[in-house]
Amino acid sequence: MKQTDIDTLRAKSISPQQHLIEGKFVPASDGATMDIISPIDGTVLTSVARGTAQDMNAAIASARVGFDDGRWANQPPAARKKVLMKWAELIEKHALELAVLGVRDNGTEIGMAIKAEPGSAAGTIRYYAEALDKVNGEIAPTQSDVLALVSKEPVGVVGAIIPWNFPLMIGAWKLGPALACGNSVVLKPAETASLSLIRMAELALEAGLPAGVLNVVTGQGAVVGEAMGLSMDVDVLVFTGSGPTGRRLLEYSARSNLKRVYLELGGKSPNIVFADATNLDEAAAVSAAGIFRNSGQVCIAGSRLLVQEDIHDEFVAKVVAIAQGMRVGDPLDLNNQIGAVNSLPQLEQNLGFVKTAIAEGGEIATGGQQIHTQSGGYYMAPTIVTQVRPDATLAQKEVFGPVLGVTTFKDEAEAIKIANATDFGLSGAVWTSGLSRAHRMIKAIRTGVIHVNTYGGADNTVPLGGVGQSGNGHDKSLHALDKYTNLKTAWIKL
């Protein structure tokens, strides 16, 4: 990846984008559009169709017909695999184009985006393409004169609502298993990160995915997202995003067809450092990356740093030094380590959390302010707040920004109590040289994912999901297939 290639792609104009329905690009039914503001400089990048409920219903109807007529669901597994493998190949071929397009849209630093977005998406699609013909049904042991078969069938139409922080990666977590199982999908991207998903869907058609099997509708969640949630023709709804939106989707399910709803709702993940950690320098570097990469806009971000009191001052000083050395700025500049905050409202929300933290007794160790650049845009200094009480707002509410709250603890029991003292339970980490302590902490911390002597990083072989108000169901791994299949029992008298 060369800076000159990035700059060439950055200079390309982006034409106004439309919905993708039944294999064709179509405008909103009323012709309305939404401006896309680039967080890099705060200027209008392009526009997308501002969808209506009518548009969403048209996309769902297309997906329903596309499922019912079997154009995809009835293809042999080998045929579906061939298309998905070709799709993954095309994503890799266009990786830099997709990454730069996404960065211009959502502000993730390009060094991270190239791997986390098209790189991850291609790997995920390929993983499920390889898996789809290796997942079998069952023959159940029953009485001698009966044959009992348990088969797995596609659910039908899947509605997927994708967040703005990693649209390709998280989109692939939904699309890969849903399409591999033979379903049709209607995709609703975030308002501030639609462009790369539209392009990836276009590549799916190029790979041979039949028209109507994957439709994309852009627009406001309150309009097209609501229409998807209330549809009687969506069988499963999958969502990654905020808790309030997740609750609304559950309400929509209850008001419509009781569609299954799977939610990944973020977290307030504890990153726990014991005094017996083997390498504090490594722990500090990894902890800083675990909260500040992508400007803290990561669902599993280690936003609560719990440090044993014996090493508190020493360890916090190490993390502060690393944070102060991070280069924040233009996310398409390879020299920068942290890119832009996704939008002005998100930046203002981040700064509001800092003000609240100070009012509640927190002390700013570094950062806490907006970074102003000559080009404009939305940037924030990596921020560390110490003296954060376990019940403080900064310890309880998800910021989704580059803001780290630090809390001290005396012993293992107190660390567990503080770690579990939130409504969330997505991720966490423990730094210790004690094998027994590591196993005790793994069992005691109530999360869907726990790291030991590291933070972040896992591949498609393991599930990602949370407990508590971090949601339900799992993305990634073979377990994700369960969301997109129905079990059917055949009871056959011999």
Tell me which of 191, 264, 398, 412 is the catalytic residue. 264
What is the three-class DSSP state of 457? Answer: coil
Contacts (Cβ under 8 Å, ≥6 apart) of 174: 158, 160, 162, 185, 187, 238, 475
What is the three-class DSSP state of 470? Answer: helix
What is the three-class DSSP state of 178? Answer: helix
Vertex 287: Cα angle to 285 and 169 (nearest 5): 105
Residue with tokens 């799992």: 474
User: β-pairing, 236-240 with 214-216?
Assistant: unpaired
Query: Is 412 assigned a catalytic role?
Result: no
Of 116, 114, 166, nearest to 9 by C-alpha is 114
DSSP-derived secondary structure for 327-389: -BS-TTSTT-SB---S-HHHHHHHHHHHHHHHHTT-EEEE--SEEP-TT---EE--EEEES--
CA distance 204 to 197: 11
Residues 49, 27: contact at Cβ < 8 Å?
Answer: yes
Residues 310, 449: contact at Cβ < 8 Å?
Answer: no
* Half-sphere exposure in the Cβ direction for 355 (13 Å, CA): 7
* Element (DSSP H or E) covering residue 238: strand 236-240
Contacts (Cβ under 8 Å, ≥6 apart) of 17: 25, 46, 47, 48, 49, 194, 195, 198, 218
Burial grade of 487 (CB within 10 A; 0-12, 13-18, 19 or more) = exposed
User: β-pairing, 44-49 with 138-140?
Assistant: unpaired
Residues 98, 120: contact at Cβ < 8 Å?
Answer: no
Q: What DSSP character marks residue 445? A: S
* Element (DSSP H or E) covering residue 56: helix 53-68
CA distance 235 to 219: 21
Q: What DSSP character marks residue 143? A: -
CA distance 146 to 289: 58
Strand partners, 328: 338
Residues recognised as catalytic:
264
